[in-house]
Structure 1
Amino acid sequence: MTTKPGLHPRNRHQNRYDFTALQQANPELTAFVRRSPAGEPTIDFADPLAVKALNRALLAHHYQVKNWDIPDGFLCPPVPGRADYIHHLADLLAQSNDGEIPRNATVLDIGVGANCIYPLIGHHEYGWRFTGSEVNDEALKSANAIILANPGLNKAIRLRRQKTPGAILNGIIHKNEFYDATICNPPFHDSQATAAASSERKRRNLGLNDNAQLNFGGQQQELWCEGGEVAFITTLIEESKAFARQVMWFTTLVSKGDNLPGLYRVLQQTGVEKVVKVEMAQGQKQSRFIAWTFHNDAQRSRRASSAAR
């Protein structure tokens, strides 16, 4: 099963940014707003401070998130694309719930990051409850600060540190816990050198000098791991079998379509019941996530019905 690409219909970022509303939500954004050659308000997307101010405004205006911030050098996520993943996941969960998006779903965000972006969007849009795992202490501290700065989020989002190097689910999913889904934005480069080369290409494409700070940032664990996303997702698939009864849908972004055939082979060898690929698009950027489950259709429906009661 494959869905057609395109920004999700429920995505709040279908249209051009409303800079008047965004500046009201975050007055700091005003210092970065300028006119495009066509006379439209915009920002310099090569400026990391401008992008951070825009993200803070988007989260405040659309998702009522206050005091959002990330430490310097951490990944500054594109909000529209992250929202797309959440909305498509909602559609996937609805398929086993008589077409209705569950409002009490529990989701595990693997690598919640300093930005905590998926729980912030998912809880606001659908009331879901999140567990966010993270290996980096500074990232955990940042995510926790965002949660504490917004009353009520501490009841919807909890954080757990991954203490075992190389583990993904092991040590995070506890006994007798059940999750409707996992989400994941894996490190996609296979080495520090590959990540550096990619950053250099982006510098050139943006016309930046060698000393310029990139707008997207990213720590090592956010950008690369040995073996890249194939190795990371393969480990995720292999670990998922041990939690087959505790998770309805395991999902992860896959940045390179060429990596899919190998991952499908691993999934087949692991004995999953069903695999779904969802194509997404933001402008010219194409992305996708894959989802797999060890539950058959009847089991998924029974679980959804039980959770709805």
Structure 2
Amino acid sequence: MNKPASPGLHPNNPHKGRYNIPALCKALPALSAKVKRNPKGEQTIDFTDSESVVLLNKALLMHHYGIEFWDLPKGFLCPPIPGRADYVHRLSEFVDNKETKVRVLDIGTGASLIYPIIGATEYQWQFVTSDIDPISVKSSKAIASLNPKLKGRIDCRLQDSAKHIFKGIIQPGEQYHLTMCNPPFHKSLQEAEQGTLRKAKNLAANKRKRGNTDKTKDVKSGLNFGGQKAELWCPGGEEAFVKSMADESKLFASQVKWFSTLISKKENVAKLKKRLKQLEASDIKVVDMGQGQKLSRFVAWRFN
């Protein structure tokens, strides 16, 4: 049975096709030292090298979004920007284009501030961000305050309770057009470490297939596969997290127009839809996304 065709990147997503390495090196000259030629003679970087991946991300943010400062604390998740951008662009279709001052809540922002950077620069959205990790919040605040394009657009908040998602973050009287989230995927630290190692081995295998026989660096500890506990795992994993999110969303139905979350495991889509129907959500939408062979999706819902 053939896999379903990827829907491709959103028309507004600027990250289609191969990376424009010369333009990225112009934006961030430090990237030049990391550029290599693949067996086809095309310019690329070593995606198993954490420093190269961080520099690539920084160059992408500078070139496409006008970001002047971006950095990550050691060991924190370095996200792939094209896929992250697609979530923002597809979520923009849930907002009436006549709306002004669109307000968005990003749950579990992490240290990179990726979604607010893209949403604030591409659509001029206002963001509130939340994270349970103080280091992530500190990093997000630094990025938000040190970039002129982001000043006054992003309010970074610490979630001080592991039991809550919206409680303690959404304040009385606040209204949001959208919420978004990239939930923790794994159920335990051991499962997260196994996933990281598997991803590293796949990258190394792909590298050898392309004819690169260089010894692979220790990518297990690399920033491109980094991530702290709150970024990678929680008790019950993605299924438990999104169920809690659905349950709490009902409490804030009058303050949010559309709730949404990415879903990594396809089987969790049906489980979340079932729970949302039990909670009497008035509208539930599943939006497919794709980049090359990789398929992903998010679920959006609202209450009337």
Q: Deviations over 1:93-142 (max 9, x none)?
A: 2xxx3xx3644210000011100000000011000000000111111111
1:200 aligns with 2:191: no
Selected match of 1:113 from 103, 110, 114: 110
Shift in Å, 1:151: 1.9
- Structure 1 alignment gaps of length 5 or more: 296-309
SS at match of 1:281: strand
For 2:72, the equivalent position in structure 1 comes to: 70
* In structure 2, distance between residues paired with 1:277 and 1:40: 37
Structure 1 length-normalised TM? 0.90
For 1:307, the equivalent position in structure 2 comes to: none
Q: Deviations over 1:47-74 (max 9, x none)?
A: 1100000000000000001121111110
* In structure 2, distance between residues paired with 1:289 and 1:195: 21
* In structure 2, distance between residues paired with 1:162 and 1:275: 27
Check whether the contact 1:113–1:143 (CA below 8 A) recurs between aligned residues.
yes
For 1:267, the equivalent position in structure 2 comes to: 276
* In structure 2, distance between residues paired with 1:92 and 1:146: 27
Check whether the contact 2:288–2:297 (CA below 8 A) recurs between aligned residues.
yes
For 1:290, the equivalent position in structure 2 comes to: 299
Selected match of 2:240 from 231, 240, 252: 231
SS at match of 2:151: helix
SS at match of 2:301: strand
Check whether the contact 2:247–2:279 (CA below 8 A) recurs between aligned residues.
yes
Shift in CA distance, 193/179, structure 1 to aligned 2, threshold 3 Å: same
Counterpart residue identity of residue 279, structure 1: D
Check whether the contact 2:129–2:157 (CA below 8 A) recurs between aligned residues.
yes
For 1:257, the equivalent position in structure 2 comes to: 266
For 1:91, the equivalent position in structure 2 comes to: 93
For 1:178, the equivalent position in structure 2 comes to: 175
Q: Report which stretch shifted further, 229-238 or 140-149.
A: 140-149
Shift in Å, 1:15: 2.3
SS at match of 1:49: helix
Shift in Å, 1:204: 1.8
Shift in CA distance, 27/101, structure 1 to aligned 2, threshold 3 Å: farther
For 1:245, the equivalent position in structure 2 comes to: 254
Shift in CA distance, 234/277, structure 1 to aligned 2, threshold 3 Å: same
* In structure 2, distance between residues paired with 1:166 and 1:254: 20
SS at match of 1:68: coil
1:217 aligns with 2:232: no
Q: Report which stretch shifted further, 5-14 or 238-247.
A: 5-14
SS at match of 2:221: coil
* Alignment of structure 1 residues 143-154 onto 2, 5 Å: 143-154=140-151
Counterpart residue identity of residue 19, structure 2: Y
SS at match of 1:173: coil
Check whether the contact 2:121–2:149 (CA below 8 A) recurs between aligned residues.
no
Check whether the contact 1:131–1:158 (CA below 8 A) recurs between aligned residues.
yes
Check whether the contact 2:76–2:228 (CA below 8 A) recurs between aligned residues.
yes
TM superposition outliers: structure 1 runs of 4+ over 6 Å: none
Q: Deviations over 1:1-44 (max 9, x none)?
A: xxx82210110011211111100111110111011110010000
* In structure 2, distance between residues paired with 1:117 and 1:274: 27
For 1:36, the equivalent position in structure 2 comes to: 38
Check whether the contact 2:200–2:219 (CA below 8 A) recurs between aligned residues.
no
Structure 2 length-normalised TM? 0.91
* In structure 1, distance between residues paired with 2:99 and 2:190: 43
Shift in Å, 1:152: 4.8
* In structure 2, distance between residues paired with 1:92 and 1:224: 29
- Count of residue pairs brought into register by the alignment: 288
SS at match of 1:155: coil
